[in-house]
Amino acid sequence: MIGILNRLIEQIEAQLRAEINLADLLRTEGSTEYHVRRMFSSLSGMPVSEYIRRRRMTQAAADLLTGEDLLSIAIRYGYGSAEAFGRAFRAVHGASVADVRENGGPLRSQPIIRFSLTVEGNRPMDARIVDREEFQLIGYATQVPLIHNGANPHIQAHIASIPIAEHARLKELSSAQPAGLLQVSAQVDPDYREGTELTYLHGVAVPGGSEVPKELDAIQIPAGQWAVFSASGPYPSALQDLYAATATAWFPSNPWRLRVGPSIVAVLDRAPDFSTATCELWLPVEAGN
């Protein structure tokens, strides 16, 4: 994966002044656009689309200082008008085109990213691969924004709105793995951009084809493989650290890649105030080439 990401960076650099199609760039790399997007975002801290925009605006700043016609520069970097280019330029550099042409700056350049894998070897990361038949996730779903760090108040509010008796009823409905009450994040932006909407479901797993109570939402999950990781400690920080570690340590070192599907958190044990917890993280995976 590290090699794939670095080759992607090289191809992006070669095509900064042309239309960039990630699917085309990755066609011969033996991976998927979905997996690469998720790994790029997790390792670099920004979506690949944002990196491309920043690199283009870094190059465009040099072109501006030559005095070349603004519309020609805008079209070169994929913008249909000088106004659209100007907005993107200010968003990256924090200064207008006119300011830069008059004063030479300020400019906020995006260096070329280089990915590397630091091997420490002193903290093995345990996981198990589980083959699952088709199943369903049922419960109460809502749309919430993605938040990378700390508790998500929108999720907290959603869970608090569910009557206590319904939590007990959901537990009784649980009849498939992962067992117990589950925290499900589905339809997550492939670039994992903070603030983008996802579907959050508080519920349980039941076998495929089970009859779903009409008042509950359902997500159909096709048969496939899952990587299952464990985390124990302060909640939710230990779980969020585990998410990060899957991208920085486990996926780059193992012949598996993410496939499209929800991530599932099963809370196995927790403190009464939920300050600490032991959780399992289920991620949909497939064997890489």
Average pLDDT over residues 223-232: 92
Average pLDDT over residues 193-207: 93
- Phi, psi values for residue 255, rounded to 5°: -85, 50
pLDDT of residue 110: 81
Residue 16 has pLDDT above 50, yes or no: yes
Cα 192 from chain centroid (whole Å): 3
Q: What is the pTM of this model?
A: 0.73
What digits encode the pLDDT tens for the residues 153-193?
999 999 999 999 999 999 999 999 999 889 999 999 988 88
pLDDT of residue 124: 58
- Report the half-sphere exposure of 63 (CA within 13 A, side-chain side): 20
Residue type (1 letter), 266: A
What digits encode the pLDDT tens for the residues 78-94?
888 888 888 888 888 88
| Calpha distance 67→54 (Å, rounded) | 21
